[in-house]
Chains A and B, each alone.
Chain A
C-alpha cells in the first residue's frame, strides 16, 4: 500500500507555500475534450461515459460523483466555419451530482449545432 501524508500546507524551497485545501478544492474534478459530431470522447478525467442527447446537446457522466449540483462548469466549443456558444442545458437534466448536460449553438443563428471540439472543466467538491 502506498503511503499517506496528512498535511495542511506544502512549502517549496523557493516558490512559496500553498495550503493543501487549494490542492483538494482547487483541482479540476472533471475535464474533457469531446467531439459531439462523431461523437467521441478524446481525453478526459473522471468521465465514465458520454451521451449524444440530440444535435448540439450532450451529457458527460462522471465516474466519481460530485457532492452536490452546485459545482462550477465552464467550457468552449469549436466548429469550422461558425462561432459556437456553449452552456449548461437547462432543457435537459442541467447539473446533477452524477452528470452535466450541455448545449452548443451557433452565435449567428442560435441554432443547436454539434461541435467537433468541446473543452469542458468542472470544479467543486467530490462526494
Chain B
C-alpha cells in the first residue's frame, strides 16, 4: 500500500481544484467541491453545547428550538448548501433552516419544531454544509 505524506493538497493547474477519479473509473469528481466544509453535532436542549464539529466557531441559542451555527472559515457566497437534521426522544421534531436570510457566508440557522409548528428544543441537532470556501 502506498502512502502520501502531506499537509496540504494543492492543484497544479488551479490551486483549489483537484480531480478525483470516480468509483466507476469513467468520470471524475472535484475533490474540493465534494468535501463537506463544515459539520456539527450539537445538543440543543438545556445549555446548548457542541459535541463535535468541523469548521465551527460558535453556536447561539436564540430561544426554544432556534439556533445559530457560525463557521470559522467562511463560504464564498450565501448560496452554500446546508443540510440539517434534528432529533429527540418522544414526539417527532422537524428540522427547518431558519427563515429566509439566515443562510450566509458565515452562518446558518436551525429551527426545530413539532408538526404543528411549535418550536421545540432538540437534543440532537446536526448540520453539513457544502459549497465553496472563500
Q: Do chains A and B interact in one complex?
A: yes
Q: Closest residue of chain A to B108, judged by CB?
A: A119
Contact, CB under 8 Å: B83 / A76: yes
Instruction: Report how many residues on chain A are interfacial, defined by Cβ distance under 8 Å.
Output: 51
Which bucket holds chain B's interface residue count? 35 or more
Provide the residues of chain A in CB contact with B70, threshold 8 Å. Answer: none
Give the contacting residue for B81; candidates A6, A17, A31; CB below 8 A.
A31
Cβ contacts under 8 Å, B95 to chain A? 76
Q: What are the residues of chain B within 8 A of A76 when measuring CB–CB?
A: 82-85, 95-97
Given A45-B34, A80-B99, A108-B115, A119 contacting B81 (CB threshold 8 A):
yes
> In the complex the two chains form, is A17's CB within 8 Å of B83's CB?
no
Give min CB distance, B26 to chain A, whole Å: 6
Of residues 63 through 95 on chain B, the ones whose CB sits less than 8 Å from some CB of chain A are: 77, 79-85, 94-95
Which of B1, B116, B132 is the one whose CB lies under 8 Å from A108? B116
Contact of A127 with B22 in the complex, beta carbons under 8 Å: yes
Partner of A3 from the list B7, B9, B12, B96 (CB cut-off 8 Å) is B12
B81 touches A5 (CB 8 A): no
Contacts A75-B83, A78-B97, A107-B94; is A83 near B34 (CB within 8 Å)?
A: no
Contact of B29 among A13, A29, A42 (CB under 8 A): A29
A52 to B19, CA, bound (A): 31
Contact yes or no, A126 B23, CB < 8 A: yes
List residues 83-124 of chain B with CB under 8 A from any CB of chain A. 83-85, 94-100, 103, 111, 113, 115-117
* B residues near A25, Cβ cutoff 8 Å: 23
Q: How far is the CA of A46 from the CA of B85 in the complex (A)?
A: 23
- B80 is contacted by which of A33, A65, A82 (Cβ under 8 Å)? A33
The CA-CA distance from A119 to B30 in the complex, in Å, is: 19
Q: Which of A11, A44, A121 contacts B6 (CB 8 A)?
A: A11
Residues A24 and B21 in contact, CB atoms below 8 Å apart: yes
- Chain A residues proximal to chain B, CB less than 8 Å: 2-3, 5-14, 17, 23-25, 27-29, 31-33, 42-46, 64-65, 67, 74-78, 80-85, 107-108, 116-117, 119-121, 125-127
Given contacts A33-B131, A121-B81, 11 further A-B contacts (CB under 8 A): A2-B12, A2-B13, A3-B12, A6-B2, A27-B31, A28-B130, A44-B81, A65-B27, A83-B94, A85-B94, A126-B24
